[in-house]
Structure 1
Amino acid sequence: MAGLNVSIAFFFLAVGVCQALRRVSKRLLSPGAYGCLARELAGSLQLCMSCLELRMLVEIGPWGGGFGPDVVLTLLFLLFAVHGASFDGASANPTVSLQEFLLLESSLAATAAKLLAQGAGTGTGWAVTRLYWSWELTHFHLIQNLIASECSSSIRTALHHAAFAEGTCSFLFHLVFLKLRQSQPMYRVPALAATVTFLTYAAGPFTGAFFNPALATVTTFHCSGSSFWDYVQVYWLGPLAGMLAALLLYQGNIPRLFQKNLLYSQKSKYKIPKARAVAAHAEGDEPRRRRKGEKSNSEPRA
């Protein structure tokens, strides 16, 4: 249990450091630089450090600490609830940033800056977490250091099944995200955290359930057992296809690519009652009758 307490303290430390980084950068940087760079870097750093430590507990905890998946899933829900409340609008997910670009909510330059910041944040998070593990504060970290050089691929099923699983997770996550993005944080944050927890529980045994290309890249691409192209298909193309499918289903189109709605007919939200429509038509005809009468009266009589 002592090892679990150390991991929980590490979670709190990661959130605290990244929150301080957000506050300092918000004061020193312009709103544009903060939104595209510092905010995404801090969010990706926080997400990567937390998920790597949690992944270590998933792999070693059941036999090294004696606790089951219920503990890990509870921690996962609480962590993503904290992430949603503290990210300050950052996505820390390349597919979400690309979705904003396709929705015309972000420019190409801003999207590229966000993707670079997310890559830098996850890379830094991986390096910091590896350094923290090297201190071997618990027996979990000692075991992690022993098996780190021999990590195996997170793809534990056929390649097309794995790509479909990651794509489906991304599709469901983005569908919920699109539905709730305009709602109040008190409803949006726990709903997204519950969605991530459920998807991780369902697809975790097959692919690890990342549905986040940046996080998957630093976590599993260096492990043996699958080729680089296999990883690209499962962890990059799968989530990207899921995001596009969710956006198309929710919007009916992809605004950045085409304006025509392919799935839903464009109907007016407001219906005019028939009696009012007849009255409006009669009022519109009255001036025309008057003009016609005035014109006939002005004609010379024989």
Structure 2
Amino acid sequence: MAKRMATKVYRLFRNLGIVGYSSKKNIFGIHPLVISTTYIAISIGCCYLLRKAVKSLMNENVFRDIILEFITTIEMCISFFELIIITENWGIWAYAIFLFFLALLWDKTWSDASACPYTSMEEVIEGNRDYSNAALRIFAQIVGGLVTFSFVQLFWAMELVHTHKGKAFEDCTADLQVPMCMGAFIEAVGTCLCRLIARALSHTENRFASFINAVSSTIIVVAAFDTTGGYFNPALATSLKLGCDGNTFMEHFVTYWVGAIIGSIAAFYIFKSQKVQDYLDNIKPKTE
């Protein structure tokens, strides 16, 4: 009875395309996309549990903030490293679908952590965070991003599926396909749009804020994908592309750090302008 049931389940999975691939190239003949998805899910789950443990064991202080940023940045970067594999094998639309759902998930699970350097800078400008605290958080994000590939490399080196073959020790190539100044402009505009949308949705308390933010972020990232990679996050770009063939350090820094930070600061001042505030107040749902 059990053997018959197992056979039926296997046939179902085979018909769905989950299994049936070469067992010599893919563990148990499982579809590589299933392995990639499982890897992302396990990584996110482990980081989520680590954050919960940190919050339960430590009082709220700067050291807890640093650890949370470190863990959250690793979670984000691991996911995006695997998204590189997914994009190379299943295209930009697969990347967009995964990015959309990840954006929804992270909006619900990251809480106070941002895994993004310019959010701390914005909080300094607003007066909600001091310079030393912001610097420590940014340092934790950079370190988290830089150590991530060590974990990714261990998994890729196992070559559980053919899509990981040779990836652990392959030289990376830069995503910047336009001149440095144009790249910085694209990253600045994209970051500015993402931050303006996020701030506006938060201000108006839109009930579909998470969904709208995920959709808009995905569209903006995909639009810039073939020019800069559409990172709009200095820590993420540094983790995935610092030192890759095709860009100098200066090109990387100006494009992904200077560009994104300028875009973030521009979004802050645009959002705080009186005209924008008046407009948002007019469309904000009235409370009785």
For normalisation by structure 2, the TM-score amounts to 0.80
For residues 196-255 of structure 1, what are the alpha-carbon distances to aligned partners after superposition, in whole Å with 9 as ceiling and x for unaligned?
A: 211111001100001111111121111111111111110010001111111111113xxx
Mapping of residues 28-107 of structure 1, within 5 Å: 28-33=57-62, 36-58=65-87, 60-61=88-89, 67-107=90-130
| 1:197 corresponds to 2:224 | no
8 Å CA contact retained: 2:191, 2:264: yes
Q: In 2 relative to 1, CA 41–185 (structure 1 residues): closer, same or farther, beyond 3 Å?
A: farther
In structure 2, stretches of 5+ residues that fail to align are 1-17, 19-30, 282-288
DSSP-derived class of the 2:175 partner: coil
Mapping of residues 19-30 of structure 1, within 5 Å: 19-30=48-59
Amino acid at match of 1:12: A
Partner Cα distance (2:120, 2:204) in 1 = 19
Residue 250 (structure 1) aligns with: 271
8 Å CA contact retained: 2:145, 2:239: yes
Mapping of residues 50-199 of structure 1, within 5 Å: 50-58=79-87, 60-61=88-89, 67-145=90-168, 148-149=170-171, 151-182=172-203, 187-199=208-220
Q: In 2 relative to 1, CA 264–183 (structure 1 residues): closer, same or farther, beyond 3 Å?
A: closer
| CA deviation after TM superposition for structure 1 residue 170, in Å | 0.6
Q: Which of structure 1's runs of 4+ aligned residues deviate more than 4 A?
A: 182-186, 263-266
Amino acid at match of 1:191: I
Amino acid at match of 1:249: I
Partner Cα distance (1:20, 1:265) in 2 = 38
| CA deviation after TM superposition for structure 1 residue 70, in Å | 2.0
| CA deviation after TM superposition for structure 1 residue 188, in Å | 2.9
| CA deviation after TM superposition for structure 1 residue 183, in Å | 5.8
| 1:12 corresponds to 2:44 | no
8 Å CA contact retained: 1:25, 1:34: no
Q: In 2 relative to 1, CA 265–126 (structure 1 residues): closer, same or farther, beyond 3 Å?
A: closer
Q: In 2 relative to 1, CA 38–131 (structure 1 residues): closer, same or farther, beyond 3 Å?
A: same
Q: Which has the larger radius of gyration?
A: 1
Q: In 2 relative to 1, CA 105–139 (structure 1 residues): closer, same or farther, beyond 3 Å?
A: same
| RMSD between superposed Cα atoms in Å | 2.2
| CA deviation after TM superposition for structure 1 residue 7, in Å | 0.6
DSSP-derived class of the 2:213 partner: helix
| CA deviation after TM superposition for structure 1 residue 144, in Å | 2.2
| CA deviation after TM superposition for structure 1 residue 143, in Å | 4.2
Amino acid at match of 1:56: I
Partner Cα distance (1:116, 1:226) in 2 = 23
Q: Percent identity?
A: 25
Q: In 2 relative to 1, CA 156–142 (structure 1 residues): closer, same or farther, beyond 3 Å?
A: same
8 Å CA contact retained: 2:51, 2:71: yes
8 Å CA contact retained: 2:58, 2:64: no
In structure 1, stretches of 5+ residues that fail to align are 62-66, 253-260, 270-302
